[in-house]
Amino acid sequence: MIKNIIFDFGDVFINLDKKGAMSKALELFEMDELSDEIHAINTLYEQGLMSTDEFLEFYMDNFPNHDRDTLLDSWNFILRGFPLHRLEFLEALAADKKYKLILLSNTNDLHINWVKENINFYEEFKSHFDAFYLSHEIQLRKPNANIFEFVLNENNIKAEESIFIDDTEENIIAASKLGFHTWHINPETDDISTLLSTKKELF
């Protein structure tokens, strides 16, 4: 029986233009493809293993023709919006009061600041969750911690009584190995709407 629903923030609730952001980066840095070093730096930052200042320092050292604001804008290009029907989906689940709702996010502090500044119902959105975790903060507090195990322990819940919703196959596999039920959404077809219409059968 499902008692807990754990969402990935960026992939479930925000429209992310990953292809557009990649094109923007390549155009900005006048490159045909991003180097392995840049991919490694981006990954470190996304995982919270590098601060925003360190992240920007790397880019400013390697691309001195670009100022801080230009780099910030290019990084935030990935964030394209927060569809209202996804907020409505969350409100419907929260109104049931049947599940413990948890938000888990790889969204780094730079993206969170963008969300706070550009989404006027951010606090309302957060209020529907029983717990909200930024994975980079978990990593800073407990380096090399297993994010899913951390969330289970923090909330005193069981994986087999929980469903994890994400669009990233790697995360879905990791959650499945720990015993979570999973829903692998496709953000391009927006089947978060399908989840809403079928939630009674699923949960």
Average pLDDT (164-191) is: 81
Whether pTM > 0.85 for this model: the answer is no
Q: Which pLDDT score is estimated for 96?
A: 82
What is the gyration radius of the CA atoms in the chain, in angstroms?
18
Taking 80 as the threshold, does the pLDDT of residue 73 lie above it?
no
pLDDT band at 70; cut points 50, 70, 90? confident
> What confidence score (pLDDT) does residue 160 get?
95
- Domain locations in the chain as residue ranges: 4-15+82-202, 18-77
pLDDT number for residue 39: 82
The larger pLDDT score, comparing residue 87 to residue 119, is at 87
pLDDT higher than threshold 70 for residue 145: no
Least confident of 74-78, 116-120, 128-132, 195-199: 195-199
Confidence of residue 194 (pLDDT cuts 50, 70, 90): low
pLDDT score at 161: 95
Model pLDDT, residue 197 = 58
Q: Which residue has the tokens 């493809």?
A: 33
For residues 128 and 69, what is the distance between their CA atoms, to the nearest angstrom?
Answer: 33
Contacts of 80 (CB under 8 A, 6+ apart): 14, 15, 16, 17, 20
Rounded average pLDDT over 118-144: 76
Fold of 4-15+82-202: Rossmann fold (3.40.50)
* Cβ-contact 15, 189 below 8 angstroms: no
What pLDDT is recorded for position 100?
93
